[in-house]
Amino acid sequence: FVQLTGYTLDEAIGKNPRILKTDKTDAKTHRQLWETISAGKEWHGEFINRKKNGELYYESALISPIIDSNGVTTHYLAVKEDITERKLAEEKILLLQEELREQAIRDPLTDLYNRRYLNEFMKHELARAEREQYSVCFVMIDIDHFKKINDAFGHDAGDLLLQNLANQLQRQARAVDIMCRYGGEEFLAILPNVTAEIAFQITQRWRSFFMGQGNKFTAHGAMRRIFRYSTRDGGFYPVVF
């Protein structure tokens, strides 16, 4: 205990265990602890505690009530183990798994979602739209004469144009919108809960903003948008403006 917490015996003896308590441990954990041991049962769980120097550590605890011959609880016996290294390792694994998942669903050039994520998202979004009866607009975006840009300026310039377009789409999109690189110079934007007319206004704003950036490559390019949306009757209809 002294080595783990930094408290000396004189500082710890007679003190309430709350000297180690932090707000990092869920209040539900403490409630379950007291409900269990008050009923005369053994409790096992984990805490995030604080050392004397302020450093946090993870602790696994097994706490048992000591009951005398009259059935009265006289003491509590706690067997504890420092599990900080294990918990930190688990957190690193979870973080790595999340990073790998992000890599699997992101396009490496533009950092937009890829078609793999699109397939996953479409199932959930369309099911939700049908359940809650709202429309979803799909905006297909591509760059006209993109091959001419690559031929005239090189593939690095073409990649830069794609990245610029992706960045602008991300900045202009709402938090609920999903932007995907569909393939090559094609992008797909999914706009939940908007009508086709509003989607058209949104994409016209995107077009004006992007073309107004003064990028020398845009002289050879334009964006074309085709809308497909689900209506409240669950159907899909092409809408061309």
> So which residues are the catalytic ones?
185
- The answer to whether the beta carbons of residues 161 and 143 sit under 8 Å apart is yes
Smallest CA-to-CA distance from 175 within 190, 165, 186 is with: 190
- Residues contacting 22, CB < 8 A, separation 6+: 48, 49, 50, 56
Instruction: Note the helical H segments in the chain.
Output: 2-5, 9-12, 27-38, 84-105, 115-132, 146-153, 155-172, 196-211
Q: Print the SS3 string covering 172-240.
A: HCCCCCEEEEEECCEEEEEEECCCHHHHHHHHHHHHHHHHCCCCHHHHHCCEEEEEEEECCCCCEEEEC
Q: Return the DSSP state at 69.
A: T
